Amino acid sequence: MTDEELKRLLEAQTERIEKRFDDVDKRFVMIDQRFETMDKRFDAVDQRFDAVDKRFEAVDQRFEAGEKRSATMDKRFEALDKKIDDTAEQMRREFGAVLEHFDRRFERFAEALALLDEKVDRKTAAIEQRMDLGFADTQAMIKFSHAELDRRVRFMEQTLQVLEDKFATLNTRVERLEETTRAEN
């Protein structure tokens, strides 16, 4: 594998990881939207409590007026008081149900987040393992190339030595021939 191929492989892996993180970001956006929906629901509950508070204020005013009225008015206030208690109890139950619902949703969110974290850890480990294998392959190729180059250099050195020896032999022969030719002249 060449450096360029390794580089392309790493870039592809990086792109896949970035794509995964984009998906995770999208999921977080969806979760944020869900939280916004929950905020709206809480705002609605707050409005309902404000309405209940206003109703309580109205009842308080009625109680003050009722103290001035006769015993029959006391019975009406008792009926109204019961109605308010029932409404408050109903509101508590509804609020308790809403809280339980949100608790379950938060638990599911925490579980989903834990699963996502585990998945990212597994993917990261797999990528690291692939990278380690790729590095090991690259190192093996470098060692093989180095051994091959070393073998070729040794062969070239041996060939050079043989050629130098032949040249020296030829040079010696030429010198002898020249001496013989000089001696004959």
Structure tokens at 59: 């009842």
Asked whether residue 156 carries a pLDDT value surpassing 90, the answer given is yes
Q: Tell me, what's the pLDDT at 59?
A: 85
Res. 124 pLDDT band, cuts 50 70 90:
very high
**What per-residue confidence (pLDDT) applies to 73?**
65
Query: Smallest Cα–Cα separation from 27: which of 130, 150, 94, 120?
Result: 120
Render pLDDT for 166-181 as a digit per residue (tens, 0 to 9): 999 999 999 998 898 8
Give residue 17's pLDDT band: very low, low, confident or very high (50, 70, 90): confident
In degrees, to the nearest 5, what angle opens at C-alpha 184 toward C-alphas 180 and 185? Answer: 120
